[in-house]
Amino acid sequence: MRRVGRVCGRLAPSPTGYAHLGNAWAFLLAWLSVRAQNGRLILRVEDIDPQRSKMKFVDALLEDMRWFGLDWDEGPDVAGPAQPYLQSRRKDHYEEALARLGRAGATYPCFCTRGELRNLASAPHVEDIGVSYPGTCRQLGEAQRAALFGAGRKAAVRLRCFGEEISFTDALRGEERMRLADCGGDFALRRSDGVVSYQLAVTVDDAAMGITEVVRGRDILHSTPRQIVLQRLLGYATPRYAHIPLLLDSEGGRLAKRHQSLTLRGLRQQGVDARRVVGLLSRMAGLNPREKPVNPGDLLPGFALARLPKHDQLVTEDDVRRLVA
């Protein structure tokens, strides 16, 4: 469904550590796309998992993103109609959506205690998709469920999927077509400890906040069909999606938070000019061949998602050395 009106995008950091170059890359491209269309930008903090999220990182993320040169129209420090901006404060929205799905018969309780259930609140990455849920608890009858609840067992909530094939047009990658069975099958919406899953929280928030454009890493590509299925069940519009390539480290792995020297905070503390960081990232995005130090706004003329590189980009030791030199 295509909506008319002003584009609205979001920056959605998880406060589980300091923002690193990989986050800055995704935020920069999301920011450029929205600003190039004269759109609105919302900063939403994805702190749904209480075990992993830390308040000190919320403040640090905002500060470091501003240092890097980004701004937003709404967020924890700029109140507006989409508030609140911390997922930990939006739980009633998620419970309402869960109740609606439950009433429609789209969910079932799951008593499995697999390790996989622990990581549900964080966005899954390429390597986390794993095997599809075999549907063990889907087969349980009402009496079995009642007996398990009666014995004090806690249950997660899963969505009943039907092997649907979901297709969408990615603004960068073109036509995408995936079967839900290849994206984890019946996926969980709430853990047995009550923590809502990333999939549900993001879908509900994107709709409630009026998000029309989602720019995020290709590591989250397999989440998109799950979010689209939820949008259909809940009667939400589907935003335009763009899954951008990843930044890889010199060993070819995803740039991870363990690279302390590659956090925005670390670079800033070493006295690096933010414009040089933007210069490096925009060179990788094909927007600044000579890697000139620039402000994000300097990259706006002619910016289009469709022109970004489609393959992952390597951050070499040399790149890092040049930055901190």
- What letter would DSSP give residue 2? P
Can residue 14 be called a binding residue for ligand GLU (CB under 6 A)? yes
Instruction: Retrieve residue 37's tokens.
Output: 């269309």
Nearest residue (CB) to ligand GLU, 97 versus 110: 97
Task: Mention every residue, 6+ apart, whose C-beta is less than 8 A from residue 10.
Answer: 30, 41, 42, 43, 44, 206, 209, 211, 214
Among 220, 280, 281, 294, binds ligand GLU (CB under 6 A): 220
* CB of residue 124 to ligand GLU, shortest distance in Å: 9
Mark 298-317 with x for binding to ligand GLU (rule: CB under 6 A) and - for no binding. Answer: --------------------
Can residue 185 be called a binding residue for ligand GLU (CB under 6 A)? no
Task: End-to-end CA distance of the chain: give it in Å, rounded.
Answer: 48
Contact 308, 285 (CB under 8 A): yes
H or E element that contains 176:
strand 174-179
Q: Residue 325 and residue 18: Cα distance in Å, rounded?
A: 22
Burial label for 293, CB within 10 Å (0-12, 13-18, 19+), is middle
Can residue 238 be called a binding residue for ligand GLU (CB under 6 A)? no
Q: What angle do CA 24, 129, 144 make, to 5 degrees?
A: 130
Nearest residue (CB) to ligand GLU, 13 versus 69: 13
Burial label for 1, CB within 10 Å (0-12, 13-18, 19+), is exposed
* CB of residue 304 to ligand GLU, shortest distance in Å: 20
Among 35, 90, 190, 216, binds ligand GLU (CB under 6 A): 216
Q: Which stretch binds ligand GLU (CB under 6 A): 8-16, 58-66, 188-196, 284-292?
A: 8-16
H or E element that contains 57:
helix 55-68
* CB of residue 106 to ligand GLU, shortest distance in Å: 21
Among 24, 25, 34, 46, binds ligand GLU (CB under 6 A): 46
Can residue 207 be called a binding residue for ligand GLU (CB under 6 A)? no
Can residue 13 be called a binding residue for ligand GLU (CB under 6 A)? yes
Under the rule (CB under 6 A), what is the footprint of ligand GLU? 12-14, 46, 123, 202, 216, 220
